[in-house]
Amino acid sequence: MSSEEIYSELPAMPIADPVAWVGVEVVGLVDAPTSLDIGDLARLSQAKTVQDFRCHDGWVAPAQRWEGVPVSTVLDQARASVDAKYVNFSCGDFSQTLTLEEANAPDTLLALQLNDVPLPQENGGPCRLVAGDRMGPAHVKWVQRIEVTNSAPDHVA
């Protein structure tokens, strides 16, 4: 698979109509809960990362070029509490949780672009979590909610 190809596992959409994506809300252990739409995200400082994208079933899309807002920027804007330990990213009933340290890593982004073009809908556009070297499911598509907590949900080891 070339780095320009798009690959998406089925089911491709964890929500019924991703076109209706209106933004992401940041809640939980934050001093300034906020909602950010695509314009808000585009106005924040952007970062780039190049990462191989891997899935559990063995395929790899090498050297994918992602650009977007560092999650650390969003957490700073919302003023995450000193008690925060985890960050849960969700879309519909699908969610993944990172430690606060993982969420603040430089290669953890709310991606708005893939390979120098706006993030395609089938790849989670307009906004997808890119979570470093983790496997595909950790990269939540169409992020709707970011919740900062001090305890891990059951699915986090």
Residues 20-63 pLDDT 10s: 789 999 999 999 999 999 999 999 999 999 999 888 888 889 99
Q: What is the CATH number of the domain that holds 123?
A: 3.90.420.10
Specify the number of domains making up the chain: 1
121 within domain boundaries: yes
Q: What confidence score (pLDDT) does residue 54 get?
A: 87
pTM given for the model: 0.86
**What is the domain extent for residue 130?**
24-149
53 within domain boundaries: yes
66 within domain boundaries: yes
48 within domain boundaries: yes
Compute the mean pLDDT over every residue in the chain, rounded to the nearest whole number. 87
Task: Indicate the range of 44-48, 73-77, 82-86, 90-94 predicted with least confidence.
Answer: 90-94
Q: Is 28 left (phi over 0), alpha (psi -120 to 50) or beta?
A: left
For the chain, give the number of residues.
157
Among candidate residues 124, 126, 128, the one with its CA nearest the CA of residue 49: 128
Burial 65-88 (b: 16+ CB within 10 A, else e): bbbbbbbbbbbebbebeeebebbb
Helix-, strand-, coil-residue percentages of the chain, each rounded to 5: 15, 40, 45
Task: Tell me the CB-side half-sphere exposure of residue 78, using CA atoms within 13 A.
Answer: 25
Task: Indicate the range of 1-10, 51-60, 78-87, 90-99 predicted with least confidence.
Answer: 1-10
Among candidate residues 72, 80, 82, the one with its CA nearest the CA of residue 147: 80
What's the whole-number mean pLDDT along residues 96-116? Answer: 96
